[in-house]
Amino acid sequence: MSKTTTILKRLGTALLWGMALSGFIVLLVAAIQDKDAGKCQGIQVKFEGKDDNFFIEPKDIKSLITKDKSLNPVGKRIGDINISQLEAIIDQDPWVKNAEIYFDNGQQLNIKVTQREPVARVFTFSGNSFYLDSVGEHIPVSSRYAARVPVFTGFPTDAEKLQKADSLLTAQIVDLGSYIGNDPFWMAQVEQLMITEDRRFEFIPKLGDQVIAFGEGINIDRKFTKLLAFYKEGLNKVGWNNYTRINIAFDDEVVCTRKDGVVPLQPVIKTDSLKLAAADEPPISDTEDSTASTPVVTKPAPVAAVKPEKKPAPAAKEKEKAKTQHVKVAKKEKAAAAPAKQQPKAVYKPGNKSVNTSKKQKTP
């Protein structure tokens, strides 16, 4: 008896759940039919991403689906609107990464747009320009807005289908642009990077006038960390204006080229405190560099009783003047014949407190 009662209770419970589920399905179908029978009242567009990086506006998205009357959803029955087709049309826009479309309870067509975010702007040899996003896709330049991203000049081709070498270069541009764009210091310091003929990178920082030879777009974090250490430990001590080129393409060292091969000028020495050098020592000058010809050094006459001298005859004056000019010309020719000094190099290794100089220069 108790067993039969238990079975009947279970059947009754199952029947009640079945009826509730059936009622829910009926209500859901009725709601869907009622919604599908309604008409689209309007279009709402929402963007996702950075608020200051919108290259398209809501009106641009709306025009993609309203310019064709057969596709315009406004005023049509919701059940007759092909949402998948509208999403595919919006996704074709080069600035749109993804689009989602749905209807709300107010019968409004909502379009949620995820926009492509550029990481670099590229200029080709021919002068054409485009953006690259984080996956290396080309994005056209907008006439409405310019993205604040690193600029790369000298890209070797305008072709849409890239060769293997150009694809590799594109990937390095994306990595470099992403790294610089995500670092406020380097974004402020590095404005434009130049692509060399051998597909390497160089740039001139905003602070300083040196050319920074970066090499290939690999080991990016290590190279920028090394350059920052050189700024702190090297240039802050030896001066920011002593070098024309800083090469960070090597492992664990920075190779620098001095300006014109000339050491920094000595401070100006007043003439009343000047001590004449010995005959075998060149004098210090604040106007001539170390590669200039050496001036004639003369010894002062001994201090003694000065007797009035007779004025030499005009012929003697001319003879003495010619002799002096002959000596000066001979010394100038000898100085000019001397071999030119090589441009000095400086090699810096991170962690050292001083900058070691060496005449050897490594090439990447």
Cα 37 to its chain centre, rounded Å, is: 55
> How confident is the model over 242-291, as pLDDT tens digits?
888 999 998 878 888 887 654 443 333 333 333 333 334 343 333 334 33
* 114 vs 335, residue with greater confidence: 114
Q: How many folded domains does the chain comprise?
A: 3
124 shares a domain with 109: no
Q: Which of 63-72, 136-145, 257-266, 335-344 has the lowest mean pLDDT?
A: 335-344
Rounded mean pLDDT of the chain?
75
Cα 210 to Cα 73, 195, 256, 356, 359: the distances in Å are 59, 16, 10, 19, 19
Supply the angle between the helices 164-181 and 220-230 in degrees, to the nearest 10. 50
Closest CA to 128 of 141, 144, 109: 141
> How confident is the model over 100-155, as pLDDT tens digits?
999 988 889 999 999 999 999 999 999 999 999 999 999 999 888 888 999 999 99
233 shares a domain with 360: yes
Q: How far apart are CA 130 and CA 157, in angstroms?
A: 12
Q: Would residue 5 be called left, alpha or beta, if left means φ above 0 and alpha means ψ between -120 and 50 degrees? A: alpha
* 90 vs 8, residue with greater confidence: 90
* 155 vs 349, residue with greater confidence: 155
178's tokens: 């992403």
Q: Is residue 231 part of a domain?
A: yes
Confidence (pTM): 0.63
Confidence grade of residue 217 (pLDDT, cut at 50, 70, 90): very high
Q: Which of 99-103, 196-200, 232-236, 263-267 has the lowest mean pLDDT?
A: 263-267
Q: Which residue has the tokens 């039969």?
A: 4
Q: Is residue 93 part of a domain?
A: yes
* 7 vs 248, residue with greater confidence: 248
Taking residues 21-48, what's their average pLDDT?
Answer: 74
Spatial CB neighbours of 16, under 8 Å, sequence gap ≥ 6: none
Looking at residue 85, what is its pLDDT?
A: 92
Confidence grade of residue 237 (pLDDT, cut at 50, 70, 90): confident
- In eight-state DSSP terms, residue 73 is -
Q: How far apart are CA 315 and CA 183, in angstroms?
A: 78
Q: Check pLDDT > 70 for residue 65.
A: yes
End of a domain among 91, 115, 139?
A: 115
Q: How far apart are CA 332 and CA 318, in angstroms?
A: 21
With pLDDT > 90 as the criterion, what percentage of the chain qualifies? 39
Looking at residue 290, what is its pLDDT?
A: 37
265 shares a domain with 357: yes
359 shares a domain with 226: yes
* 213 vs 71, residue with greater confidence: 213
* 330 vs 75, residue with greater confidence: 75
Taking residues 27-55, what's their average pLDDT?
Answer: 72
Q: Is residue 26 part of a domain?
A: no
CB neighbourhood size of 47 (10 A): 18
359 shares a domain with 224: yes
Q: Which domain holds residue 271?
A: 215-289+341-364
- 215 strand-pairing partners: 201
Q: Check pLDDT > 60 for residue 230.
A: yes
Q: How far apart are CA 150 and CA 27, in angstroms?
A: 56
End of a domain among 97, 115, 133?
A: 115
Confidence grade of residue 189 (pLDDT, cut at 50, 70, 90): very high
Q: How far apart are CA 10 and CA 222, in angstroms?
A: 70
- Report the relative pairing of strands 243-247 and 211-215 from DSSP bridges: parallel
125 shares a domain with 60: no
Looking at residue 301, what is its pLDDT?
A: 42
Taking residues 170-186, what's their average pLDDT?
Answer: 96
End of a domain among 207, 239, 269?
A: 207
What is the full DSSP assignment across 230-295?
A: HIIIIIHHH-TTSEEEEE--STT-EEEEEGGG-PPPPPP--GGG--PPPTTSPPP-SSS-TTSPPP
Q: Which residue has the tokens 């330049």?
A: 141
Cα 128 to its chain centre, rounded Å, is: 18
Q: Is residue 73 part of a domain?
A: yes
Spatial CB neighbours of 174, under 8 Å, sequence gap ≥ 6: 119, 120, 132, 134, 135, 136
* 9 vs 280, residue with greater confidence: 9
Closest CA to 28 of 17, 38, 36, 39: 36
Q: How far apart are CA 68 and CA 110, in angstroms?
A: 18
